[in-house]
Amino acid sequence: MQNPEKIRLSQHKNEEKDWLKWGPYLSERQWGTVREDYSAYGEAWTYFPHDHARSRAYRWGEDGIAGISDRYCNICFSIGLWNGKDPILKERLFGLTSPQGNHGEDVKELYYYLENTPSHSYMKYLYKYPQNKYPYDQLVAENRQRDRNQLEFELLDTGIFKDNAYFDVTTEYAKADETDILIQITITNRNDKPAPVALLPQLVMRNHWSFKEMSHKPVIQKQGTDANAFVSIDHPYVGKYNLYFQPADKLLFTENETNREKVYSQKNQHPFKKDLFHQAVCNNDFNLATQNNQGTKFAPYYEMELKGGESKTILLRLTQQELSAPFTDFEEIFSTRQRECSQFYDEIAPNAPEERKAILKQAFAGLLWTKQYYNYDVEKWLDGDSKTSQPPQERRYGRNSSWKTLRNHDVLSMPDAWEYPWYAAWDSAFHCVTFALIDPEFAKAQLLLFTKEWYMAPSGQIPAYEWSFSDVNPPVQAWAAIEIYKTEKEINGKGDIKFLKRMFNKLSLNFTWWVNRLDRNDNNVFQGGFLGLDNIGVFDRSHGVPGNGFLDQVDGTAWMAMYSLNMLELSLEIALEDDSYEDMATKYLGHFIFIAEALNKMDTDTVNTWDDVEGFFYDRLMLPDGRSTTIKVRSIAGMLSLAAVLNIKKSVLDRFPKFKASIIWFRKYRADNLKYEVIQQFQDGEDLLLSLVPKDRMQKLVKALLNEKEFLSPYGIRSLSKIHENPYKIQIEGVDYSIDYEPAESTVSLFGGNSNWRGPIWMPMNYLFIHALHEYQSYSGNDFLFEYPTGSSKLLNLKQVGIELSKRLISLFEKDEEGNRPINQNYQQQYQDPHFKDLILFYEYFHGENGRGLGASHQTGWTALVANLIQQIDAEEPTN
């Protein structure tokens, strides 16, 4: 049976059709971002707040609810709503800024990504809109008065959904063709009493003209008679389109331009501004909004009163065609695309239980819905635009001022479309590993972007994220490249060597940057700062190292050992087709060996990272006067050394005699330095295991990893050992520092306090550990058996351990016998409701004891790795 979605992806790959020209690329939050911040000292949250968003034109993008756009965000479509009671028109999702929230920024809405295909041929989004006045002020005030020891005050806590006094607003898109998009918006009254609601399906032209010259300004213009009205779109960058819609109560037009009187107390040249629809609807004064028949912002206005339980559906169609009967084929096209969507996802894990299939499908939906257009030209941003006033000169020496070569203008996979509407380099690598299961071409293109000259700095550094491109994220791009390659090879029967070459060549520059910049003593022990693990240290590892010292980091060193092995593996895979890469395998073998020697060094004259009594790796603080001390925190930073492992099969070694000779040379001539079994155990004619951790240390670490009194929770691996319920304390240069096990939200303000690596469970790190266990298993078979959990007397091999860990992680999203999912720990009753019970949120991280969802509530970026786990278990245990 043919898979139509796969055919569409093939057509796109072969440039037969541009199926990805339109997609869910409209951001969910453009306000409060760095790229919209033109303040002197980088005050992004206050420079462009939510209260300005309805009145002020954006420079670098647009936002909206359940929205779509072309790939460059020129023509945007989204929904607006009003319940007759709110003080503002609901055009975008509301949430708290970082200063307002007791645990940092946080969206305060209920919405769910239900379905989406890789070609975006079918998409479904659910927004739950309260019927009573939205509690904007209450959410801000209550969260402001709470401290970090208290829970966040969420929308469900306000009682706004009591008695089901809300509307389910379901927005669906189905593509009849690449530039023919059918839109279906269904509003259902979930209360048993009648309630009014207004719907404004909004078409917005992104404002370029206020900032730069255009050949001509885009225009949306009314066509046809009132009974058969539609609008035409003429855009110099996108071309001509038509938007057809069912007869509306009113047709509203305005300009997508800043209301300068509202925002800056300056005189407007005309009254047709961005916030005109808000004024018209909330004040019931439509004179201005209905005065014109053209503009750059348009909405057909539907006013309805829905009885209890009643639904109403509005149909629209955005197309390049001219149609006399645009809605006659809606039912057929929608049912076909819905069926094709189900078929596509059923084939990924065909034997999985239905509940897991539903989790997998929503995980992929969230991953695809958070593909968003991202535009940021740092040099232009620093200089300002020719048609606007010049920004403050202080910015030239402030945030991102050293990244003038960075020019981003792409559709990117975002960690969370509201809370993190900007890429983070290491997040994106994990996203691509999941994307590879459904759209390998997008996964490859996305990962390659970070190696392009308009992303990567001339020095070879990969940009971290817009709040500070110079921060250092873990170097996981090479690992992701290998995983994408293997996944595509498994799906299609052939891997993309050209992709590996392109990644390898650019990552060689990045690897050199790491070696030159983050190994300050040239001893193969690395620093790196926070490395994505925010508050995992007793102090800020990027900017708060005491006594002007520096930190030799186990995780920094482990990441580089893993990076070396990834580059080695890339070299060998490419060398199977191009033997000129064999020499590079030897280069990265050498890097790995030197790093492994340094981390495992046994000298008794210095303070070392390995404590043999405690069986753990610890960071080492080096002070300027030569003194050093060990920071004895048992965290995944020390456990990460397990992830640097590679099993090279005998069949591969036999293909590369020069590389094998190098292995023998290292074994023979560095015997005095090889204090552990990195190569000493290798015998010609066998597989070669390269592990940062020697066997005896690996066994001690795995024993701690699988200890429920330390790292193993009912739902995965904790980020900090539970033994730190008794806080670890240390005094350095007369200052007291401490860290304790916090399984839930963070109680400290490091890195904004909206993430916590002091106890909770994080999906990407768990995924790496499972991957490493499988790699050890591929070498040792059943030679390595471990108690699972530690102390249980139940012995499993490492593959079995990996499967059991996967099941614990998947169970975060599964219903228990009472119908409750662990992620919904605080709102179990609400999620028992028939209209909530099948809705799943993919949180940023999870409570180390009960699995409650924490942090960003729509982080279907790297949390979508749960789909990989479901697919892998389905392949390994097809009857499970």
For tokens 């006399």, the residue is 324
- What's the rounded mean pLDDT across residues 515-528? 69
The pLDDT of residue 346 is above 90: yes
Helix, strand and coil in the chain, % to nearest 5: 35, 20, 45
Residue 542: per-residue pLDDT: 63
Following DSSP, what letter does each residue of 545-557 receive, concatenated?
-GGG-EEE-HHHH
Mean pLDDT is lowest, of 180-189, 249-258, 263-272, 853-862, for 853-862
Q: Is the pLDDT of residue 226 over 90?
A: no
CA 118/CA 5 separation, integer angstroms? 8
3-state secondary structure labels for all residues of 618-665: CEEEECCCCCEEEECCCEHHHHHHHHCEEEECHHHHCCCHHHHHHHHH
237 φ, ψ (degrees, to nearest 5): -95, -25
What is the rounded distance in angstroms from the CA atom of residue 552 to the CA atom of residue 309? 62
Choice between 341 and 629, residue whose per-residue pLDDT is larger: 341
Contact between residue 477 and residue 463 where contact means Cβ atoms under 8 Å apart: no
CA 261 to chain centre: 37
- One-character DSSP codes across 410-454: EEEE-SBTTTB-S--HHHHHHHHHHHTTT-HHHHHHHHHHTTSTT
| Residue 89 pLDDT | 98
As a whole number of angstroms, the distance between CA 603 and CA 71 comes to 57
Q: Is 536 exposed, middle or buried (0-12, 13-18, 19+ CB in 10 A)?
A: buried
Longest dimension (CA), the chain: 89
Strands (E), 320-425: 371-377, 407-413
Region of 254 on the Ramachandran plot (φ > 0 left; ψ -120 to 50 alpha; else beta): beta
Quick: pLDDT tens for 167-184: 999 999 999 999 999 999
The identity of residue 49, as a single letter, is P
pLDDT at residue 669, as a whole number: 73
The DSSP secondary-structure symbol of 139 reads H
Given a contact cutoff of 8 angstroms between Cβ atoms, the answer to whether 248 and 300 are in contact is yes
The phi and psi torsions of 120 (rounded to 5 degrees) equal 60, 30
Instruction: Of 179, 32, 247, 2, give the one whose Cα is nearest residue 752.
Output: 32
d(CA 364, CA 360): 6
Q: How many Å apart are CA 516 and CA 9, to the nearest integer?
A: 41
pLDDT band at 676 (very low <50, low <70, confident <90, very high): low
Banded model confidence at residue 880, pLDDT cuts 50, 70, 90: very low
Measured distance CA(177)–CA(320) in Å, rounded:
10
Task: Count Cα neighbours of 767 within 13 Å in the Cβ-side half-sphere.
Answer: 25
Instruction: Look at residue 544 in the predicted model and tell me its pLDDT.
Output: 65
Of 56-60, 335-339, 388-392, 400-404, the range with the lowest mean pLDDT is 388-392
Dist CA 34 CA 36 (whole Å): 5
Q: Does position 875 have pLDDT exceeding 70, yes or no?
A: yes
Give the torsion sign (CA, 651, 653, 655, 661).
negative
Q: Half-sphere exposure of residue 753, counting CA atoms within 13 Å on the CB side?
A: 18
Q: List Cβ neighbours of 593 (8 Å cut-off, separation of 6 or more).
A: 666, 670, 674, 678, 679
What pLDDT, on a 0 to 100 scale, did the predictor assign at position 812? 98
Mean pLDDT computed over 183-210? 98
Is the pLDDT confidence value at 315 over 60?
Answer: yes
Q: Decide if 414 contacts 446 (C-beta within 8 A).
A: no
**322-334 burial: b if 16+ Cβ within 10 Å, else e:** eeeebeeebeebb
- Cβ atoms of 21 and 71 closer than 8 Å: yes
User: Residue 113: in which H helix or E strand, if any?
Assistant: strand 110-116
State residue 10 phi and psi, 5-degree precision.
Answer: -65, -40
Per-residue confidence (pLDDT) for residue 670, from 0 to 100: 65
Which residue, among 18, 70, 96, 299, has the nearest Cα to 185 in the 3D structure?
299
The radius of gyration of the chain from alpha carbons, rounded to an integer in Å, stands at 28
pLDDT attached to residue 227: 84
Half-sphere exposure in the Cβ direction for 127 (13 Å, CA): 26
**Residue 27 exposed, middle or buried by CB count within 10 Å (0-12, 13-18, 19+):** buried
244-258, 452-466, 653-667 — which is least confidently predicted?
653-667
Residue 745's identity, in one-letter code, is E
Output the average pLDDT for the chain.
93
- Peptide linkage before 196 cis (omega within 30 of 0): no
Specify which residues 718 forms β-bridges with: 761
**pLDDT tens figures, 686-717:** 899 999 998 889 999 999 999 999 999 999 99
Q: Which residue stretches of 781-880 are H helix?
A: 798-810, 865-876
- Does the pLDDT of residue 449 top 50, yes or no? yes
Instruction: Tell me the CA end-to-end span of the chain in Å, nearest whole number.
Output: 25
The answer to whether 595 touches 587, Cβ cutoff 8 Å, is no
Give the pair of three-digit tokens for residue 480: 């992701």
The 3-state secondary structure of 54-87 reads CCCCCCCCCECEEEEEECCCCEEEEEEEECCCCC
CA pair distance 840, 827, nearest whole angstrom: 12
Q: Is the pLDDT of residue 473 over 70?
A: yes
User: Would the pLDDT of 529 be above 90?
Assistant: no
Reported confidence tier of residue 552, pLDDT bands at 50, 70, 90: confident
Q: Are 433 and 868 in contact (CB under 8 A)?
A: yes
pLDDT (mean) for 773-777: 95
Cβ contact 690:646 at 8 Å? yes
Q: What value does the mean pLDDT take over residues 198-212?
A: 97
- Span 589-600, pLDDT tens digits: 999 988 888 888
Q: Judge whether 446 and 370 are in contact, CB under 8 Å.
A: no
